Amino acid sequence: MIFLSPILGLIFQETGRAANAVESLKHPDLSKFLVIAAILFIIGVAGVLTRRNLLVIFMSIELILNAANLNFIAFSRYLQDTGRGDPLAGQVFTIFVIVVAAAEAAIGLGIVIALYRNRETIWVDEIDLMKW
Amino acid sequence: MVLSGWESVFFWVFGIAALLAGLLTVMARNAVHSALFLISSLVSVAALFILLGAEFIAGVQILVYVGGVMVLFLFVIMLVNVGAEEEGRAAIFNRPAQVATALVFLGLLAGALVVYAIPRGYQAMQKRDESAMQQAGARRAAEQSNMPAGATGVSRLTDDTRRVGKSLYTYASLPFEIASILLLVAIVGSVMLARTLKQEAASDDVDPEDLA
């Protein structure tokens, strides 16, 4: 029976870890918000890298910026709980990110319209004038 | 910060909704569908902001993004991309090899972040901040017990918003002014970019017929 003990130990440890995981899913903390933001960021990067439609690429950039905002707000809440640093700096920074995103969307869509007027397309692989 | 009860239910609902809507934004065939999925993703993220106690930012997110930026997007899609639905067979993604490479490396990045980096970093951070967290919790409990009887959650909300506004006008005042100049440049720039040859000629007092 002695040789079974490491296996049993492993099994019990695993079930303990699984119970811990369920418990942490029931009580999401900062790390869960960070995971959501990371996945959202990756989805946005995947959109930028794989899509051909210029407008959808712009929308993916908005997704990326949103993931960054979610990180800022989550860490701002964490700082409020620890009482360290300036707890509202994250929220103030998020406002600036939203402002820059709005400006970027306005300029980008202006460029899209000018491009469409000249080239009659918004598929990025057909816009290769500066590609050698 | 640990959510519990209904808060954690709402966290999972809105978190998964944000992820699904983001995925559909990237994968939808029609750009209008993409925009609508992006709107629902943004609204879900705004709900997560509310769960994190940033009600003002959630309001700004919905007003600026959903009310402003996404309406702009929809306008441009309508202007530019009307024929997209008819050519539904056209490939919406890049070449398969490029897509596969991008997805493999992004999958590796996601795995490393979600499985390794974030849990480890968070554990270390929690260990470091344990005492500070307890002190802050005790201070907050003392503040709560000293609050007047009429104080509710609403007073905390307005207080947070007031402090955000105050920091925007004090230590963040220089970036605030720079942001206003940035917005002005964006307005002028997008008008400059989007006007036609005719409009340009008209503003220079040249007869458009001479250009043609």
Instruction: Report chain A residues whose CB lies below 8 A from the CB of B29.
Output: none
* CA of B205 vs chain A CAs: smallest distance (Å): 22
* CA of B17 vs chain A CAs: smallest distance (Å): 11
Residue A63 has its nearest CB partner, among B22, B57, B93, at B22
CA-based nearest residue in chain A for residue B15 = A36
CA-based nearest residue in chain B for residue A88 = B164
Classify A86 as helix, strand or coil: coil
Q: What is the pLDDT of residues A4-40, one digit of tens each?
A: 666 666 666 656 666 777 777 778 888 899 999 999 9
Residue A117's domain is classified under what CATH number?
A: 1.10.287.3510
Q: What is the number of structural domains in chain A?
A: 1
CB atoms within 10 A of CB A100: 15
For residues B147-175, average pLDDT = 78
Q: Which residues contact B95 (CB under 8 A, 6 or more apart)?
A: none
What structural domains and CATH numbers belong to chain B?
1-84 (1.20.120.1200)
Q: Per the domain annotation, does A12 fall within a domain?
A: no
d(CA A35, CA A40): 9
Domain boundaries, position A40? 29-126
| pTM score of the predicted model | 0.85
Cβ contact A53–B175 (<8 Å):
no
Residue A38 has its nearest CB partner, among B60, B65, B113, at B113
Q: Per the domain annotation, does A19 fall within a domain?
A: no
Q: Per the domain annotation, does A85 fall within a domain?
A: yes
Q: Per the domain annotation, does A95 fall within a domain?
A: yes
Cβ contact B179–A99 (<8 Å):
yes
Q: Per the domain annotation, does A6 fall within a domain?
A: no
Q: What is the pLDDT of residues A86-132, one digit of tens each?
A: 878 899 999 999 999 999 999 999 999 988 888 888 888 888 887 76
Q: Per the domain annotation, does A108 fall within a domain?
A: yes
CB atoms within 10 A of CB A24: 14
